[in-house]
Structure 1
Amino acid sequence: MAELVQQYLDQILADHVSNTDGALADYIPELARVDPDEFGLSLSLADGFIYESGDSSTEFTIQSISKPFTYALALECLGCDAVDARIGVEPSGEAFNEISVDETTNIPKNPMINAGAIAAVSLVPGATPQARFDRIHEFYSACAGRELSIDEGLYASEKATGSRNRAIAYMLQSFGVLDGDPDEILDVYVRQCSVKVTTTDLARMAATFARGGVEVTGRRIASAEVVQRTLSVMITCGMYDAAGDWVSAVGLPAKSGVGGGISAVLPGQLGIGVYSPRLDSKGNSVRGVEVCRALSVSLGLHFLSVTRESRSTIRNTYDASPGIRVYELHGDLLFTGAEQVLRTLDQDGGEFDVAILELSRIDDIDDAARRMLTGMRQSLTAAGKEGYLVDPDGALRAAPHADARVFRTLDEALSTASAHCADSAG
């Protein structure tokens, strides 16, 4: 039944594919040459399961989405106090490439603008520029779960047209923020922005943060404290001077890049990667922002609405009789909890003829979970199975799927299931 989620993601892209607002970034020549119509979306669940839609395998450069990962690496290597002495955590209210520092401290206002990101690169330990970049590249690759490559053409293009960033680097040196050679530090920064990713890479990198710094195989690559600090800055500063609108409308720690990507995190649950290269006036992907907004609203992903999601789970599973399996659910059932339930039914499909979901212990359920559960039967019948819902308290209310079979009591559902099994056997 993973196809229920897949169909939804495909529909999200279809709903926004006609939006051709915005323009390609043209201040870096290579970025102006990409296909403006490419459009991809990936979700990585906390357990590593991936959903992909559209141009999810298209590679593009990570650009400013690199910033939170280098910031996290600097925090991991040096600790918060040392990093805080060089980079602030306050929203700037300025363009991402503004040539400025905090008027009081003379340090960059946060690590999500270019000044702060260049300072973060300088804090990553390395005896040489290559060693510093190798450490950054290794960290990105570990978060993505594969070795990422570099777009050498974009690197050369961005380096040749990077006068504004060069001005920022020398300004930082004049204020004592950079200890090393500004040109060497800037070279590493440009190279990190030239790392190639797909939307699936971005979703996996975000999911590593969603798991508190643990990549999908279980290896810890950043501490929970570092991830918490990084996500806090992402939620307030990650979308530049559109951060306030993003927090209220989408509510996910996120970072955009002028290459057209967005990476967003729902802590404890999932990571999102989106790609569409036409940008708005803030430097954010037009369709990417709209897709994230639609996902957040439709699936209930705003971080302030999911504080009890960890309680959502399958409380108990048992076979009521041969061919009939009952799944007792409890807690708050939101998108990720419903997705987990449906994927469990997929995995168990060979072990039952009828699946019954018992919802009497559900505390709260959102619209996304309602749609997914009431669509369960349609997927099961297509596989030659049957699916029933037991909803004594009317949690599902008006089910949008006419095929849904909803019972008031478990006994009624079991009686119907037994009759179904008997008819099938006859």
Structure 2
Amino acid sequence: MQTPVPDYLTHVLSQCAANSQGALADYIPELAQANSKHLALALSTVDGTIYASGDDTVEFTIQSMSKPFAYALALQELGLNAVLDKVDVEPSGEAFNQISLDPVTKRPKNPMINSGAITTHALIPIQQGEQRAEKLRQFLSRLAGRELCFDLKVYESEIQSAFRNLSIGYMLRTVGVLAQDPLEIVYGYIKQCAILVTVKDLARMSSVLANGGIEPLTGERLLDGAVVRQVLSVMLSCGMYDSAGDWLSSVGIPAKSGVAGGIFGVLPGQVGIAVFSPKIDTHGNSVRGVKIFERLSNDMGLHLMQGTPSAQTILQSRYVLEQYQDVIVYELRGVLQFTESEMLLRRLQNEPAGNSTILLDLTNLTLVHNVGARMLFEGVKRLHADGHTVKVVDSENILSEAQLKGHKREVVNEALEKYLAKFHS
């Protein structure tokens, strides 16, 4: 069988594709030339698997989505206190390019608005002859697992219209937040925003944050856990600018957007998600991207405030019954929600087509989320299509009647039920 996750992502894109609201970011001339029809979605798991759909090979500039990673790099190298001395962490309730400082501290209110991001860029430590944008590009390349590059056309285009950011830079220099030449820092910040990525790059970068700073495929620790916690906390409260409250209530995933049309989000311990659709709203957020995130959050139960516990492993054991040679048992444990269901389906897709009997034993599950039940029965359907007989052993009635709607709670024969009971004694 094939896991249904890619099909689901394609379905979500198809449901949101018709939305034509929003406009291209025409204040940056090069972005005004973008193809507004582009639409892509990628999802990463904490073990490094990436699913993608749509225009997932199209590159676009990272723009403000670079801000959390620049913040992470500064925190990693300088420590929290040194960064807090220059940039606060309070939601601003203002547009991303507002020219303002906190009236009490005289510092930028958070690192996700431009004044805070320009300050954060200046904090990145460099050696003589090194450029901060280049250092960040190298760091992002490690997170993405490939060499990223700059879009110099977008960089030069934005430089020509950078008057507002330059005003912010000179304001920061005037109050003593910046010690360097504002022109150098602002141009470096603009260049960091011109790094090219795809949704798959962003998904892989997100998976490092979802995995607590550890690169899932290599096991290398790229960021301290405390750094990741700080970054995700600020993303949750400040990442979506002056629509952060709406985002928190409707989506509930720490996220960051960019005016080229990208949004990436991170649900700790579960998934990283990235979308791309160039038309943005008045807040600077991708219109279709927001709708896709709302759909994913509702469908997959990803809202951070739902508080459902997550397990890293759903499969307790897989074995062939000695007295029933063609009976394969998958013994599950813990909580079955999206992350665990995806892991289970990925194991089930390794079963070769044939006429085996497969038992999915739910006895040791403590909770089945609605999305877990839907994915479970989708896996059952696909195993049936491969020629298998599949039975769900739910002796504890963990599945609700609503979750069983359209399906039946299958039972095994009495002798086999007693045989299975020995494994739970």
Report how far residue 325 of structure 1 moved. Answer: 1.2
- Residue 196 in structure 1 maps to residue 199 in structure 2: no
Task: Report what 2:158 is aligned to.
Answer: 158
Task: Report what 1:97 is aligned to.
Answer: 97
Task: Report what 1:305 is aligned to.
Answer: 306
Give the letter for the 1:334 counterpart.
Answer: Q
Alpha-carbon distance in 2 for matches of 1:315, 1:397: 22
Alpha-carbon distance in 1 for matches of 2:416, 2:252: 39
Alpha-carbon distance in 2 for matches of 1:379, 1:68: 40
* Aligned partner of 1:394 among 375, 393, 397: 397
Report how far residue 366 of structure 1 moved. Answer: 1.4
What secondary structure is seen at the aligned counterpart in 1 of 2:120? helix
Report how far residue 133 of structure 1 moved. Answer: 2.1
What secondary structure is seen at the aligned counterpart in 1 of 2:391? strand
Report how far residue 323 of structure 1 moved. Answer: 2.4
**TM-score, structure 1 normalization:** 0.93
Task: Report what 2:320 is aligned to.
Answer: 319
Alpha-carbon distance in 2 for matches of 1:382, 1:408: 20
CA pair 189-311 structure 1, distance change in 2 beyond 3 A = closer
Alpha-carbon distance in 2 for matches of 1:126, 1:376: 51
CA pair 229-384 structure 1, distance change in 2 beyond 3 A = same
- Residue 376 in structure 1 maps to residue 379 in structure 2: yes
Give the letter for the 2:317 counterpart.
Answer: N
Task: Report what 2:235 is aligned to.
Answer: 234
Task: Report what 1:168 is aligned to.
Answer: 168
Report how far residue 150 of structure 1 moved. Answer: 1.0
Q: Which 10-residue stretch deviates more, 398-407 or 360-369? A: 398-407
1:128-161 Cα deviation digits (max 9, x unpaired): 5743222211111111111111111001001111
**TM-score, structure 2 normalization:** 0.93
Report how far residue 90 of structure 1 moved. Answer: 0.3
Asked if structure 2 preserves the Cα contact closer than 8 Å seen for 1:371 and 1:401, the reply is no
- Percent sequence identity over matched residues? 46
Asked if structure 1 preserves the Cα contact closer than 8 Å seen for 2:353 and 2:386, the reply is no
CA pair 102-380 structure 1, distance change in 2 beyond 3 A = same
Give the letter for the 2:170 counterpart.
Answer: Y
Give the letter for the 1:237 counterpart.
Answer: C
Alpha-carbon distance in 1 for matches of 2:143, 2:107: 28
1:77-156 matches, cutoff 5 A: 77-128=77-128, 130-156=130-156
Report how far residue 208 of structure 1 moved. Answer: 0.7
Structure holding more helix per residue? 1
Task: Report what 2:347 is aligned to.
Answer: 344
Alpha-carbon distance in 1 for matches of 2:12, 2:104: 45
Q: Which 10-residue stretch deviates more, 371-380 or 38-47? A: 371-380
Q: Which 10-residue stretch deviates more, 324-333 or 288-297? A: 324-333
Report how far residue 209 of structure 1 moved. Answer: 0.4
Report how far residue 412 of structure 1 moved. Answer: 7.4
Q: Which 10-residue stretch deviates more, 48-57 or 301-310? A: 301-310
Task: Report what 1:63 is aligned to.
Answer: 63
Q: Which 10-residue stretch deviates more, 382-391 or 179-188? A: 382-391
Give the letter for the 2:272 counterpart.
Answer: G
Alpha-carbon distance in 2 for matches of 1:18, 1:48: 31
Asked if structure 2 preserves the Cα contact closer than 8 Å seen for 1:374 and 1:399, the reply is no
CA pair 408-225 structure 1, distance change in 2 beyond 3 A = same
Report how far residue 13 of structure 1 moved. Answer: 0.6
Report how far residue 29 of structure 1 moved. Answer: 0.4
Give the letter for the 2:72 counterpart.
Answer: A
Unaligned runs of 5+ in 1: 416-426
Report how far residue 377 of structure 1 moved. Answer: 2.2
Report how far residue 346 of structure 1 moved. Answer: 1.3
- Residue 244 in structure 1 maps to residue 248 in structure 2: no
Asked if structure 1 preserves the Cα contact closer than 8 Å seen for 2:88 and 2:110, the reply is yes
Task: Report what 1:331 is aligned to.
Answer: 334
Task: Report what 2:256 is aligned to.
Answer: 255
Task: Report what 2:205 is aligned to.
Answer: 205
Unaligned runs of 5+ in 2: 419-425
Alpha-carbon distance in 2 for matches of 1:377, 1:232: 38
How many residues align structurally?
Answer: 416
Report how far residue 215 of structure 1 moved. Answer: 1.4
What secondary structure is seen at the aligned counterpart in 1 of 2:186? helix
Q: Which 10-residue stretch deviates more, 288-297 or 312-321? A: 312-321
1:255-310 Cα deviation digits (max 9, x unpaired): 00000000000101111010001111111001100100110110011122244112
CA pair 106-381 structure 1, distance change in 2 beyond 3 A = same
CA pair 79-378 structure 1, distance change in 2 beyond 3 A = same
What secondary structure is seen at the aligned counterpart in 2 of 1:326? strand
CA pair 398-307 structure 1, distance change in 2 beyond 3 A = closer
Task: Report what 2:422 is aligned to.
Answer: none
What secondary structure is seen at the aligned counterpart in 2 of 1:310? coil
